[in-house]
Amino acid sequence: MTPSLGGQIRSIAATDLKLRLRRPATLWLIVILSGLAYAFIPDPATGRGLMVADGARALYTSQVMAISTAGLAAFLLTFAGFYLTSNSLRRDLLARTGGIIAATPVSSGAYLAGKWLGGAAYLGLVTLAYLLNIMGMHLLRGEGPLQPFVYLLTYLLALGPAILVVSALALTFECIPPLSGRLGDVAYFFVWMVFVALGAISEGIGAGRFLDVMGIGFILAQVHAVMSAQSLAIGMTPFDPQVAPWVLPPISLTVGTVLPRIITALVALPILLVGLLFFHRFDPARVRSASQASGGQLIRRVSLLVKPLTRVVSEVGARLVPAAPGALRAVLAETVMTLCQSPLVLLAWIGVTAAAVVTTHETAVHTLPLVVSVVLAIALADLSTRDRTAGTLPMLYGMPRVKPDYAWIKFGAAAALALLFCVPVALRIAIGSPGGALSLLVAAGFMAALATALGFLTRTPKAFMGIFLLFLYLVMNGGQVPALDFAGWNGAATGSTRLGYLAVTGLLAAVAGGRHRWDLAREK
Amino acid sequence: MLTLDHVTKRFRGGVTAVNDLSLELKAGVVGLLGPNGAGKTTLMQVIATITRPTDGQIHFQGVDILKEPETLRRQLGYLPQDFGVYDNLTAFEFLSYFGGLKGVTNRGRIDELLEVVNLHTVAHRPAATFSGGMRQRLGIAQALLNDPALLIVDEPTAGLDPEERVRFRHLLSDLGHGKLVLLSTHIVSDIESLADTIAVMREGRLVTCAAPEALLQSARGQVWEAVVSSADYEAARGRLKVTRAVRQADGVHARVVSRAQPFPTAQSVEPDLEDAYVHLMQVGG
């Protein structure tokens, strides 16, 4: 029996796609995309347009709606796409099917190709669902005939390379030991920022257009081909109703347009080859050393370095935990365990606390909260999902009061950990910037609640990592928008901002509790 | 059929799971016995080409499988000890997936195996709803998909109820003709009735590889049965290798492996495979 290569790849890709589509999260994703489709395309009667150049809005033709919404989707697709598809190998490890797959005649290359195509097909289908929603919006807001081919071609050229490259990157990150964990999730955030920069810098011309994964340069080039505007905005942008709308002609299928997009899509292949070099093929010896290397030798060395300190934390915990009343006992135990098993987090806490003491007031107000947020993005991500993954949940549920209060215990532990980092910084800035200190303490609760709620809703740490890092990106670029200044480092947060985040914190904690109660009810 | 020549598997950190093991196996059912941590699972993984040995050579039907693992993988059925299923796939989809990887495109073969493992009535139910035993049977069906010339099953009866265990033993017994079935277990009764050859491992080394009769012969005159008081039994339990003990009205009916007569009333009895295994572990082969 000699299996065909094509049959093997098809089988892997189809199964990967099937497993992804059957996750409840996919349904939520499509609901969110429908909402985004509606939100992205404003009614021109409101004074806002989808694409505005030098104050003049573009007429809502199929081409304008396609290229604008593809541009908006590119940001989300390239960012969230990574986190959505970056669990292919992990799924086979967790489902414990890896050993069986490794003993079949499927080659490592065919396996990775199948997984890559499965991930790309999933992103492609999600994009298609979004596109269908946009076409639905065209029927509502369009100012010209609905031209499905124009939509399809634009999306294919603008987003096709992104789908293939992001799926390849997600798989390759999983193959490379130091990048296969949360460190990789954070590292991708910076890769994504490079994508944003490359698209904007290249503007579809020069060598940069071959690396325009996001397709932003391609989109800019299409617009600049017909008008040399000083400013171009995509999204809900105010326009001057006195200026006549302009029309964007259809994309011309020339070699100069298509070839760079094909070359960008082909970037996925060398990325996959790198993944193939590191792929462990479920060899238990390599999987073991890969999990040890996730974070590298560094973690082992740091563990040794911090060992005396973890021992102190452990001993303090051993005294404090039994003395604590009721549910607080479990919260304390959870916090102590997190610190003891994550030496890097403990080391980061020492660093942050030391920096809060020695740094200038300006740095403490504007930089330290950002550092704390990034550290907490890593530290809090798996707090509410790790028990399920490790299979210790039934054991924990056997402890008194843990089962009914599990969500609150997790939220409490996440909040305790977040406060541990935020309090030293808040104390440092409290005299000069009491508002900033208060914002930071509110942010601790918000981050804890977001991590807990997303962990309970999605059961994967990646959702929090992805959403929170994207949020951080918006905050960093948010300037003086008070609503975005969640931790006060932009100096724009007001009392209402803090109250708002406090309310969201309560809401998110309630969501986590509600989801847990729902899970328990379903068990019965 | 399968030859292992001085195979060693050493993990990073210095643990030697398989230590200079040589073995030559012909078609039939081979039971691989050994206590936990003996290296059985690692040996199975090495033979199944999942992990490479640190040293040594392995040939299957004359082909060096370290150089040409694909040759073996095409003829291999493997059920690891710690395996799982995708909860969102049905039994049929699960087998179709592995059929695709193994080149089995015949739907009839999948239906046939679902019937063999008694899952045909739940073939289109998601595996999430399956019990441990049902998952185990699905794993067994997966291993048999490509009608393998070499079937490696690691602790296959874990999670099966007594009726399913018997069914599974019959299945393996039928398969053993003209093929090599390598079955690892620490439950001696699993292989008692079906193994043509028994290999015993301890601390990574091969203690023995022989026919069951030879093992039984080696334990002759070393197995005793006696009825003793509870107090005598409790006093002797720490120093004797007891293979079975049943409390009854007249005292504890104990079966003991010992060179010397353990109790004055003890009588020598014919050893069974469990006694022979305990004896072997005691004397070290």
Model pLDDT for residues A313-326, shown as the tens digit of each residue: 888 888 888 888 87
Please give the structure tokens belonging to residue A462: 């990646």
- Residue B222, pLDDT > 60, answer yes
B151-163 confidence digits (pLDDT tens): 999 988 877 788 8
- Residue B210, pLDDT > 70, answer yes
* Minimum distance, in Å, between the CA of residue B47 and any CA atom of chain A: 10
Domain ranges of chain B: 2-211, 221-269
d(C-alpha B55, C-alpha B39), whole Å: 15
d(C-alpha A326, C-alpha A324), whole Å: 7
Would you say the C-alpha torsion B193, B197, B203, B204 has a positive or negative sign? negative
Is A72 within 8 Å of A235 (Cβ atoms)?
yes
Tell me the average pLDDT of chain B.
90
- Percent of chain A with pLDDT strictly greater than 70: 97
* A369 alpha carbon, distance to own chain's centre: 20
Secondary structure, 3-state, A80-147: HHHHHHCCHHHHHHHCCCHHHHHCCCCCHHHHHHHHHHHHHHHHHHHHHHHHHHHHHHHHHHCCCCCC
Q: Please, which residues bridge with residue B55 across strands?
A: B8
d(C-alpha A357, C-alpha A417), whole Å: 19
Which residues from chain B sit within 8 angstroms of residue A3, using beta carbons?
A: 74, 100-103
d(C-alpha A493, C-alpha A506), whole Å: 19
Q: How many residues does chain A have?
A: 524
Interface mutation vs chain A, best among B75, B81, B102, B182, most A CBs within 10 Å: B102
**A12 contact B CB<8A:** yes
- Residue A301, pLDDT > 80, answer no
Confidence bin at B58 (pLDDT 50/70/90): very high
- Residue B283, pLDDT > 80, answer no
Q: Which of A125, A140, A158 is nearest to A16 (CA)?
A: A125
B17-48 confidence digits (pLDDT tens): 999 999 999 999 999 999 888 999 999 999 99
Question: Which chain B residue is nearest to residue A285, measuring alpha carbons?
Answer: B11
d(C-alpha A166, C-alpha A123), whole Å: 9
**A297 contact B CB<8A:** no
Q: Inter-chain contact B50–A283, Cβ cutoff 8 Å?
A: yes
Q: Inter-chain contact B49–A103, Cβ cutoff 8 Å?
A: yes
**A300 contact B CB<8A:** no
A212-246 confidence digits (pLDDT tens): 999 989 998 888 888 777 788 888 889 999 999 99
Confidence bin at A299 (pLDDT 50/70/90): low
Q: Inter-chain contact B84–A95, Cβ cutoff 8 Å?
A: yes
Q: Inter-chain contact B89–A18, Cβ cutoff 8 Å?
A: yes
A320-343 confidence digits (pLDDT tens): 888 888 778 889 999 998 888 888
H-helix or E-strand spanning residue A472: helix A461-476
What is the distance in angstroms between the CA of the first residue and the CA of the last residue of chain B?
25
- Residue B181, pLDDT > 80, answer yes
CB atoms within 10 A of CB A367: 15
State pTM to two decimals.
0.85
Which residues from chain A sit within 8 angstroms of residue B93, using beta carbons?
A: 15, 18
Tell me the average pLDDT of chain A.
90
Those residues of chain B whose CB sits closer than 8 Å to some CB in chain A are 11-12, 42, 45, 48-52, 70, 73-74, 76, 78-80, 82-89, 93, 96-105, 139, 142-143, 146-147, 152
E strands along A152-231, which residues? none
Put simply, the chain A residues between 19 and 78 with a CB less than 8 A from any chain B CB are 19, 22-23
Q: Which of A260, A232, A263, A272 is nearest to A113 (CA)?
A: A272
Question: Which chain B residue is nearest to residue A11, measuring alpha carbons?
Answer: B100
- Residue B169, pLDDT > 90, answer no
Average pLDDT value for residue range A75-91: 90
Q: Considering CB atoms only, which of B42, B73, B79 is closest to A105?
A: B73
Q: Which of A78, A77, A73, A79 is nearest to A234 (CA)?
A: A73
Q: Inter-chain contact A99–B83, Cβ cutoff 8 Å?
A: yes
Q: Which of B271, B71, A57 is nearest to B256 (CA)?
A: B271
d(C-alpha A460, C-alpha B218), whole Å: 55
Q: Given this model, what pLDDT does residue A177 score?
A: 87
Whole-number Cα distances in Å, A189 to A123, A206, A292, A485: 18, 25, 23, 20
Confidence bin at B176 (pLDDT 50/70/90): low
d(C-alpha B68, C-alpha B181), whole Å: 21
Confidence bin at B69 (pLDDT 50/70/90): very high
Q: Given this model, what pLDDT does residue B284 score?
A: 62
d(C-alpha A62, C-alpha B212), whole Å: 78
Q: Which of A337, A339, A335, A371 is nearest to A353 (CA)?
A: A371
Domain ranges of chain A: 9-290, 295-523
Question: Which chain B residue is nearest to residue A98, measuring alpha carbons?
Answer: B83
A386-434 confidence digits (pLDDT tens): 998 888 888 888 887 889 999 999 999 999 999 999 999 999 999 889 9
Q: Which of A119, A160, A127 is nearest to A272 (CA)?
A: A119
**A101 contact B CB<8A:** yes
Q: Given this model, what pLDDT does residue A422 score?
A: 96
Average pLDDT value for residue range B78-89: 90
- Angle between the A402-429 and A343-358 helix axes, to the nearest 10 degrees? 30
Confidence bin at A293 (pLDDT 50/70/90): low
Q: Given this model, what pLDDT does residue A308 score?
A: 81
Q: Given this model, what pLDDT does residue A298 score?
A: 60
- Residue A274, pLDDT > 60, answer yes
Confidence bin at A204 (pLDDT 50/70/90): low
Question: Which chain A residue is nearest to residue B146, measuring alpha carbons?
Answer: A1
Name residue, tokens 């095409």.
Answer: B74
Confidence bin at A300 (pLDDT 50/70/90): low
A170-187 confidence digits (pLDDT tens): 999 999 988 988 888 889
**Amino acid at position A305, single letter:** L
Q: Given this model, what pLDDT does residue A503 score?
A: 97
Q: Please, which residues bridge with residue B33 across strands?
A: B185, B200
Q: Given this model, what pLDDT does residue A297 score?
A: 59
Q: Given this model, what pLDDT does residue B43 score?
A: 96
Q: Considering CB atoms only, which of B12, B73, B105 is closest to A103?
A: B73
A106-155 confidence digits (pLDDT tens): 999 999 999 999 999 999 999 999 999 999 999 999 999 999 999 999 99
CB atoms within 10 A of CB A307: 11
Name residue, tokens 């992804």.
Answer: A20
ipTM over 0.95: no
| DSSP string covering A245-260 | PB-PPPPP--HHHHHH
Q: Given this model, what pLDDT does residue A210 score?
A: 87
Per DSSP, A485 falls in state -
Q: Given this model, what pLDDT does residue A65 score?
A: 95
A299: CB partners within 8 A, 6+ apart: A343, A344
Q: Given this model, what pLDDT does residue A409 score?
A: 94
B85-128 confidence digits (pLDDT tens): 999 999 999 999 999 999 998 889 999 999 988 899 999 999 99
Q: Given this model, what pLDDT does residue B173 score?
A: 79
Q: Inter-chain contact A95–B87, Cβ cutoff 8 Å?
A: yes
Question: Which chain A residue is nearest to residue B101, measuring alpha carbons?
Answer: A8
Question: Which chain A residue is nearest to residue B72, measuring alpha carbons?
Answer: A105
Q: Given this model, what pLDDT does residue B1 score?
A: 86
Per DSSP, B53 falls in state -
- A21-30 contacts: CB < 8 A, separation 24 or more? A21/A122, A21/A125, A22/B88, A23/B88, A25/A458, A25/A463, A26/A126, A29/A84, A29/A126, A30/A126, A30/A129
* Superfamily the domain B2-211 falls into: P-loop containing nucleotide triphosphate hydrolases (3.40.50.300)
Which range is least confidently modeled, A164-168, A281-285, A451-455, B169-173? B169-173
Please give the structure tokens belonging to residue B88: 């969102």
Q: Which of B271, B282, B188 is nearest to B225 (CA)?
A: B271
Total beta-carbon pairs less than 8 A apart between chain A and chain B = 112
Q: Given this model, what pLDDT does residue A316 score?
A: 86
Q: Given this model, what pLDDT does residue A292 score?
A: 61
Q: Is A474 exposed, middle or buried (0-12, 13-18, 19+ CB in 10 A)?
A: exposed
Q: Considering CB atoms only, which of A1, A4, A99 is closest to B50?
A: A99
E strands along chain B, which residues? 2-10, 16-25, 28-33, 55-60, 63-64, 76-79, 150-154, 180-185, 197-202, 205-210, 223-228, 241-248, 251-257, 267-268
Four-point Cα dihedral A194, A199, A203, A205, nearest 10: 80
d(C-alpha B270, C-alpha B220), whole Å: 7
Which residues from chain B sit within 8 angstroms of residue A459, using beta carbons?
A: none
